Amino acid sequence: MGEKLGEKLGEKLGEKLGEKLGEKLGENQLEIIKEIIKDPLITIVKLSQRIGISTTAIENNIAKFKEKGILKRVGPAKGGHWEVDLELADTFNKT
């Protein structure tokens, strides 16, 4: 399900989230969102490895998403999970 959802959101998600952030989402930012949707338990280190950018770059992008309310961490740093605002994502998918 996660993989299909990530594919379904595709480019429109990137464009619409970019509008909410006040800038166009870069390829790496879109990949971060897709990976988190596929695996809400993913770590920053694993995101870094899968996308091929530094952990600092991942952390900076996550901070931007959190600031805009697109992404939040539920639970502790170890043992918690990520939540993407799926209502927001679904709205973007329909437009």
Partner residues linked to 72 by β-bridges:
83
Class of domain 5-91: mainly alpha
Write down the pLDDT at residue 85: 85
CB atoms within 10 A of CB 37: 23
Each domain of the chain, given as residue ranges in start order, spans: 5-91
What average pLDDT values come out for the chain (95 residues) when binned by 10 residues? 51 58 70 92 95 96 88 90 75 42
In the numeric block, which tokens belong to residue 52? Answer: 């091929």
Contact 83, 71 (CB under 8 A): yes
Specify the amino acid at residue 29. Answer: Q
Write down the pLDDT at residue 5: 52
Q: CA angle, 35 as apex, 69 and 41 as ends, to 5°?
A: 80
Contact 35, 47 (CB under 8 A): yes
Q: CA angle, 19 as apex, 21 and 24 as ends, to 5°?
A: 80
